[in-house]
Amino acid sequence: MSLYYVQKLLYNLNRDEAVRARFADDMDSVLADYDLTEEELTAIRKPDIGLLYVLGVNGQLLMHYAALKQFAWDEYLQAMRDGVAEHGPVREGIYAMVGE
């Protein structure tokens, strides 16, 4: 998994208007700039906010991507809950869920 690159992509989309415009016009050319797994690429393209959360993407970065993809706040929160229900516990990062 390349959590660093997913988060770097989302950070750049949030901060750089040129990257955001390029992403809207030709998503694949932007994605090619990052070393992402097939699972990550699928989650970004869909967009599967729940899977991105489970992969460990920081919520501060993820909420901006969700907003970019027209998720309302309550839909964003529900997508994270649904992601855990569908894909299991958060795998990596600061939100990693530890079993008891």
**pTM tops 0.85, yes or no:** yes
40 found inside a domain: yes
Residue 48, domain member (yes or no):
yes
Using the 8-state DSSP alphabet, how is residue 94 labeled?
T
- Dihedral sign (CA 37, 80, 44, 20): negative
CA torsion sign for 46, 52, 57, 62 is positive
pLDDT on residue 99 = 56
Structure tokens given for 95: 């939100």
pLDDT at 71: 97
Q: Is residue 58 included in any domain, yes or no?
A: yes
Four-residue CA torsion sign, 18, 37, 61, 82: positive
Q: Examine residue 93 and state whether it is found in any structural domain, yes or no.
A: no
Say how many CA atoms lie within 13 Å of 25 toward its Cβ. Answer: 6
Q: How many domains does the chain have?
A: 1
Q: What is the pLDDT of residues 6-60, one digit of tens each?
A: 999 999 999 999 999 999 999 999 999 999 999 999 999 999 999 999 999 999 9
Domain carrying residue 39: 3-86
The CATH number linked to 72 is 1.10.700.10
